[in-house]
Structure 1
C-alpha cells in the first residue's frame, strides 16, 4: 500500500493532491511568466542593473515586514482559504503592474505593485507549505514534496519560455494573462477537502502563541537552521537568475525569447531530478547529498559566468537547477517532518523569508554587484562565494552534514 503512487490512491486523498498540484502549478506558471516579462521590460527601458536589483528588493521586503503575521495566519486560519486569497492578491498585483507599465510611467511607480505582489506571496508560502502535510501521511510526504517540486519545475520550464515568446509577440498584454492564471489557482486550492481532524490543533503554550515562535524553533534545531541558512547564503551569493536579462541583452544577444529559454533551463534540469526523486525518494545520506548539491550549484554558476556561448550557458543553467532541487527537497522534507502541525505555518513563514531573501534579496545583491564590477564579475564572484559557503557550513553544522534518513 505504501508503494502506491499518490495519484492512484482512491478517495479524497487523490483529489486533494491533484487540486493542490493544480493550484501550485498555475501560480508557479504565472510567477515565472511575470518574472520574464518584468525583467525584460525594466532592463530594456532603463538599462540599469541596479534597477533590476531594486525590483527584487521590493518583492522581498514584504516577506520580512509581514513575518510576524504571515505564519501565524497560516496556523490560526483555514490554510486553503489563506492560499486562495493570496492567489487573488497575486492576480491583482499583476494587473497593477500592467496598468503602470501600459501608461509608460516611471519605473519607481512599479514598486508599490511589486510590494503588493510580495505581500501576497508572504502569506501564500507558509499556507501552502503547511497545507501539504495535512493532506498526505508521513510515510508518503517525501514523495509528495518531490511531486510538488516536479509540478513547480515543469511550470517553470514552460512558463519562462512561453513568457518570452508572448512578450515578444504581444508586449505588455502578457501581464493580464499572468493575472488570469493566478486567478484560476484560487478555486482549485479552495476546493481541497480538509481531512478529518485537520482543523483541530493542540493548545499552545505561551511561548508557542508568539507569532515568532517559528524563529525560535528553527534557532533551537541546528539541522533545520543549517539547512535553511545554507540555502539562504548559497543562493544569495550564487543566484545568477537576476542577471539573466543583462546576459541575454548584452552578452548573448538572444532577445526576450532567449531570455525565456534561459530562465526555463534551470527548471528543465530540476524537473529531471525531481522526477527521479519522486520515484526514488531520498532516504539515506541526505545531509551529505545536500552539501554536494550546493557545491555543484556553485560550480555551475561559475561556468555560466564565464560562458559566451548560448548553448553552454543553457547547459550551465540546467545543471544549476538540477543541483538546486536536491537541496530544496531535503530542506522542505526536514522542516515539515520535524515541525509540529500547530507550528508549521510559523516555521514555514520563517523558511519562506529565507527563501525570499535568497531569491529576491539575492537579485538586489546581484544588481548592486553587477553595477559595480559588471555582470560577469558579479556572477563569477557569486559562484565562488557559494562554494565557500558550502565549505564553511559543512564545518559549522556537522549535525546537518551527518543527517542520514528523511521520511518514513
Structure 2
C-alpha cells in the first residue's frame, strides 16, 4: 500500500520545516541533558560503573515498552503522541533543575528522573520516525532522511557544547534550559497536521503485538542492517566514558566534555549534508560495511589518544561513519514498510538503536570498571570491526545492495 503524499519540502514547506524544528529542539535537549546528567553523576560518585548505569536507566523503559509503543503509534494521532512525550521529558528535566537549585538532588533521584524521561522517549522516538514518510514522496525519501539527520546532528553539535558551557556556569541552569527546549518542541509538533490515516482495524492480539518483529525477520536486508547497527555500536560506543576522558585523561572540565560529545555530530552532519545533496549510489552495501570498519578504527584511535585535537578528530570520523549507517538503516525501514505497520516496525528498530546506544553505555561502564577505561574502549572498537566482517558473510544480500531509491513497501530493495 502506498503512503499518502501529505506534503513535501516543495509542496508544504511549513509542515516539513516545523517537523525539522521540533526534532531539532528535542535532539538538542536530549544532548544537553546527556552532558549535564553525565557530569552530575560523575561529580556525585566518581564511578565509571555509575556512569554506565545511566545507560541502563534509559534502556530498561525502552525494552519494557517497545511492543506497546508500536501499537500506540499505529492507532493514534502521531504528532499528538510526540507532543505529549516531549512535555513529559520537559517535566523530568525541570525536576532535575529543581533538585539542583534546591540542593536535594541525589544519585537515585537522577536515575529515577532519567527513567521517566526515557519512558517518554521510548514513545517519542519511533513515533517521530513515522512522521517523515507522511511529509515527502518516496523518491525524495533518502534526501529528506539525510536532511532530517543533518538537522538532528546539528542539534547534537550545539547541544553538548551548550550543555557543557551552561553546566559550567550553573548545573541547574542547564537542566532548566533543557526543560524549556522540550516544551518548545512539544508546541511545534502539536501544531503539525498530517493527512488523515484510516483507523487501524486489526484487533490487538499477541500476533499483532509481535508483528513488527516478524516483519523485520522476514526481510533479510532490514534485519541485517538493524542488527549490524545494534552490535557494532553496542561494542564500539564509548560515549558513556567521555566524562572520564574529559576529567581524568584529557584534563578538561565540563566545557571539554561538551566539545567531545559534539565532535561525532560534527562529522555526522557533514556526511548527512553531503548525502542530502549527493545520495549514495553504486555498491551501497559495501559502503555501509566500510563505514562501520572506519567507525571501529576511529574508536580505537580515540581510546588510546591523550591529545585533545586527535581525540576530537577521531570522534569526528566516528560520527561521519555512523551517519552512513543511520541513513541506510532509516531509508530501508521507511521504504520497505507499509504505513499501517510503520509504527510497530519503527518501535522495534528504535529498540535496536536504543540497545546499541543505552545498553552500549552500560556495557562500556561495566567493562571500564573491570578492565580500565582505555582497554574497555579499545576492546569495543576492535569488536565493532569484527562484527562488521562477520555480518558481511552472514548477510550477503545486505552486502550486495546497490540502490535505496524507489522500492515499494514490502518489496525487495535492489541488489
Does the alignment reach a TM-score above 0.5?
A: yes
> Compared with structure 1, are the counterparts of its residues 333 and 190 closer, same or farther at alpha carbon in structure 2 (3 Å cutoff)?
same
Q: Does 2:226 match 1:228? A: yes
Q: Which residue of 1 aligns with 2:322?
A: 324
Residue 210 of structure 1 deviates from its aligned partner by 1.3
- What pairs up with 1:176-195 in 2 under 5 angstroms? 176-195=176-195
Question: Alignment partner of 2:179: what SS?
Answer: helix
In structure 2, the residue matched to 1:337 is 335
TM-score by length of 1: 0.95
Question: 1:238: which partner in 2?
Answer: 236
Give the conservation status (yes or no) of the 8 Å contact 1:237–1:386.
Answer: yes
Aligned to 1:146: 146
Match of 2:159 in 1: 159
Alignment gaps of 5+ in structure 1: none
Tell me how far 1:202 sits from its aligned partner.
6.9
Which residue number corresponds to residue 79 of structure 1? 78
Secondary structure of 2:170's match? helix
Which of 334, 358, 371 is equivalent to 1:360? 358
Cα distance in 1, alignment partners of residues 19 and 382 from structure 2: 37
Residue 105 of structure 1: how far off its partner (Å): 3.7
| Residue 298 (structure 2) aligned to one of 297, 300, 321 | 300
Query: For the Cα contact (< 8 Å) 2:225–2:329, is it kept in 1?
Result: yes
Question: Structure 2 vs 1, CA of residues 75 and 112 (structure 1 numbering), >3 Å: closer, same or farther?
Answer: same
- Contact persistence 1:15–1:192 (CA under 8 A): no
User: Per-residue displacement from partner, 1:286-313 (whole Å, max 9, x unpaired)?
Assistant: 2111111110000000000110100000
1:5-404 → structure 2 map (5 Å cutoff): 7=9, 9-10=10-11, 13-102=12-101, 103-195=103-195, 198-200=196-198, 203-204=201-202, 210-404=208-402
How far the C-alpha of 1:98 sits from its partner, in A, is: 2.5
Separation in structure 1 between the aligned mates of residue 394 and residue 99 of structure 2, nearest angstrom = 46
Aligned positions, number: 399
| Contact persistence 1:201–1:341 (CA under 8 A) | no
Distance 2:281 2:123 in 1: 31
Change (3 A) 1:333 1:207: farther
Q: TM-score scaled to structure 2, two decimals? A: 0.93
Tell me, yes or no, if the aligned pair for 2:75 and 2:199 is still in contact at 8 Å: no
Is residue 91–residue 180 contact of structure 1 (8 Å, CA) maintained in 2? yes
Q: Report which stretch shifted further, 274-283 or 146-155.
A: 274-283
Structure 1 residue 219 displacement after superposition: 1.2
Segments ≥4 residues shifted beyond 6 Å:
205-209
Deviations 1:83-113 (A, max 9, x none): 1111111101112223344434431222221
Partner Cα distance (2:375, 2:104) in 1: 32
How far did residue 284 of structure 1 move? 3.2
Equivalent pair of 1:218/1:347 in contact (CA under 8 Å) = yes
Distance 1:114 1:170 in 2: 19
2:58 touches 2:114 (CA, 8 Å); kept in 1?
A: yes
Per-residue deviation, 1:193: 2.1
Does the aligned pair in 2 maintain the 1:202–1:342 contact within 8 Å? yes
304 and 402 in structure 1: CA distance in 2 versus 1, 3 angstrom threshold? same
Q: Deviations over 1:339-394 (max 9, x none)?
A: 01000000000011111101110000000011011110110000000010000111
1:207, 1:213 within 8 Å by CA — same for their partners in 2? no
The question of whether the paired residues in 2 share the 8 Å contact of 1:6 and 1:144 is answered with no
- Pairwise CA RMSD: 1.6
Measure, in 1, the Cα distance between the counterparts of 2:100 and 2:360.
Answer: 24
Task: Report the CA distance between 1:327 and its aligned residue.
Answer: 0.4
Q: Do the aligned partners of residues 202 and 170 (structure 1) sit closer, same or farther apart at CA in structure 2, a change above 3 Å counting? A: closer
Distance 1:284 1:205, change over 3 A: farther
Q: Secondary structure at the match of 2:192?
A: coil
Residues 145-175 of structure 1 show CA distances to partners (whole Å, capped at 9, x for unaligned) of 0011000010011111111111111222210
Farther-moved stretch of structure 1 (154-163 vs 168-177): 168-177
Residues 186-233 of structure 1: per-residue CA shift (max 9 Å, x gap): 1211222212xx412675488796122101111111111110010001
Secondary structure at the aligned position of 2:138 is classed as: coil
